[in-house]
Amino acid sequence: MIIRQIKINILFIFALLINSSLVLAQDIPDTVVSAEKIIIRNISFTGNKVTKERIIQRELMFQENDTISFSSFGDKLDLSHQNLMNTSLFNFVTIDTLAVNENPGIYDVTIRFIEQWYIWPVPLFELADRNFSEWLNKRDLDRLNYGMSLTWNNFRGRRERLAVYALFGYDEKYHLVYNIPYINRKQTIGMGFSGGYSRNHEIAYNSDNNKEVFYNTEKHYARKKGFGYAELYIRKNIHNKHWFKTMYTDLLVDDSVIILNPHYSFGPSVNNRFFSFYYQYRSDYRDYRQYPLKGHYFDVEIDKAGLGIMKNPLVDAMHIRTNIRKYAHIKGGFYWASGFTGKISPFGEAP
């Protein structure tokens, strides 16, 4: 009896140990038990004094509480660094990881930034003549253009862009641009607006032996142009983007220009009002867009002037363009790049 009782107790203790080990295994995440996976516990940012955190998070290949295979963790860090640099918001980005002491399968990530200077005021000064020698022969201070351009990147810390351009003097040009990359919570849709007006005393109306031929009038403006457009961006993932734009244009040229070159504008009319449509698809897998060394790039765009809305049948032009680029590493510090650009105009050509 005693021996039988000892056997029963041993079996009971053995069963209890197995049950306890099962409970402990359930309490510990699989990613910790297996060295092949890790957990991102916390992501912190330092140095982003202007840029909002949600703009940064949009470019990361991982989020807090993500479970990631250890073999792909380094690649995700590299891609996240590339994506952040490709926003053109930062001069430097550093990503540090730290394993939690009590459990090496859990990591904290710290991302440090040195932001760019986002406000760029630029004074403008240019000659109305084709070159300095020609202006020097006239020495007419009235034939000078001057003004200011102001570009505010990362406006309000949301990666918005605000730009104002004003040129006075002999020729005039005014231009306002505003765009915001994300307007929805998922940060996949953006939009923009722009408008401008310009007028010139002198324009190039033709070419002769590959040299521009100019028409000039001092008394009035040879060309006046006003425009405005609205655009929409769709970027569901990091690398691919759709861009839609609708534009209205009001173009007025001097009747002498049409006499000198009947093909300068759309037909014999000196005033053309029309709508245009523009679409571009872009697929960008380059490592760094400013100075790419690896990856590939592709885009295709369609530009259609004249949509039949203004009942102007003379305005009817279209072109299709594509751009393909490939970058690769050869060996050591040597790289190679190749590309192809093509354009076709099925009918018409915008002035």
Asked if 99 and 194 sit in the same domain, the reply is: no
Please tell me the predicted confidence (pLDDT) of residue 35. Answer: 55
Asked if 110 and 189 sit in the same domain, the reply is: no
Q: Helix or strand or coil: residue 332?
A: coil
Structure-token pair, residue 205: 């109306």
Give the type of residue at 68: I
In a domain, 264, yes or no: yes
SS3 sequence of 149-168? EEEEEEECCCCEEEEEEEEE
Integer Rg of the chain from CA: 31
- Domain span holding position 47: 14-115
The CA distances from residue 61 to 39, 40, 45, 64, 198, in Å, are 14, 12, 15, 11, 44
In a domain, 78, yes or no: yes
Asked if 103 and 223 sit in the same domain, the reply is: no
Going residue by residue through the chain (351 aa), what tens digit of pLDDT does each one get? 433 443 434 333 333 333 333 333 333 344 343 458 899 999 999 999 999 999 999 999 999 999 999 899 999 999 999 999 999 999 999 999 998 877 778 999 999 999 999 999 999 998 877 777 777 877 778 788 999 999 999 999 999 999 999 999 888 999 999 999 999 999 999 999 999 999 998 888 888 887 878 888 878 899 999 999 999 999 999 999 999 999 999 999 999 998 998 888 877 888 889 999 999 999 999 999 989 999 999 999 999 998 888 777 778 889 999 999 999 999 999 999 999 999 999 876 555
| CATH value at residue 54 | 3.10.20.310
Asked if 110 and 185 sit in the same domain, the reply is: no
Structure-token pair, residue 223: 């060309």
Backbone angles phi, psi at 196, to 5 degrees: -165, 170
Domain boundary among 64, 88, 115: 115
Residue 107, judged by CB atoms within 10 A of its CB (0-12, 13-18, 19+), counts as buried
Please tell me the predicted confidence (pLDDT) of residue 167. Answer: 95
The CA distances from residue 62 to 66, 75, 82, 283, 295, in Å, are 7, 11, 14, 21, 21
In a domain, 142, yes or no: no
Contacts of 181 (CB under 8 A, 6+ apart): 158, 159, 160, 187, 190, 233, 235
Domain boundary among 115, 136, 161: 115
- For the stretch 46-85, what's the b/e string if a residue is b when 16 or more beta carbons lie within 10 angstroms of its beta carbon? eebebbeeebbebbbbbeeebebeeeebeebbebbbbbbb
Asked if 215 and 329 sit in the same domain, the reply is: yes
Backbone angles phi, psi at 151, to 5 degrees: -115, 125
In a domain, 166, yes or no: no
In a domain, 338, yes or no: yes
Asked if 93 and 190 sit in the same domain, the reply is: no
In a domain, 153, yes or no: no
Asked if 324 and 185 sit in the same domain, the reply is: yes
Asked if 291 and 196 sit in the same domain, the reply is: yes
Residue 87 to residue 160: CA distance in whole angstroms: 11
Helix residue ranges per DSSP H, the chain: 2-27, 30-33, 53-57, 70-86, 132-138, 255-260
Structure-token pair, residue 213: 């031929």
Which is nearest to 48 in space by CA: 56, 39, 40? 56
In a domain, 160, yes or no: no
Residue 216 to residue 12: CA distance in whole angstroms: 105
Q: What angle do CA 303, 308, 310 make, to 5 degrees?
A: 110
Q: What angle do CA 141, 143, 148 make, to 5 degrees?
A: 95
Asked if 186 and 333 sit in the same domain, the reply is: yes
Q: Given the DSSP bridges, would you call strands 202-208 and 172-180 parallel, antiparallel or unpaired?
A: unpaired
In a domain, 294, yes or no: yes
Asked if 206 and 342 sit in the same domain, the reply is: yes
Given the structure tokens 């009896």, which residue do they identify? 1
Please tell me the predicted confidence (pLDDT) of residue 202. Answer: 86
How many domains is the chain partitioned into structurally?
A: 2
Contacts of 166 (CB under 8 A, 6+ apart): 147, 148, 149, 173, 174, 175
The CA distances from residue 223 to 207, 289, 310, in Å, are 17, 37, 21
Domain boundary among 57, 83, 115: 115
Which is nearest to 178 in space by CA: 191, 197, 189, 167? 191
Asked if 202 and 326 sit in the same domain, the reply is: yes
- For the stretch 245-255, what's the b/e string if a residue is b when 16 or more beta carbons lie within 10 angstroms of its beta carbon? bebbbebbbbe
Asked if 191 and 308 sit in the same domain, the reply is: yes
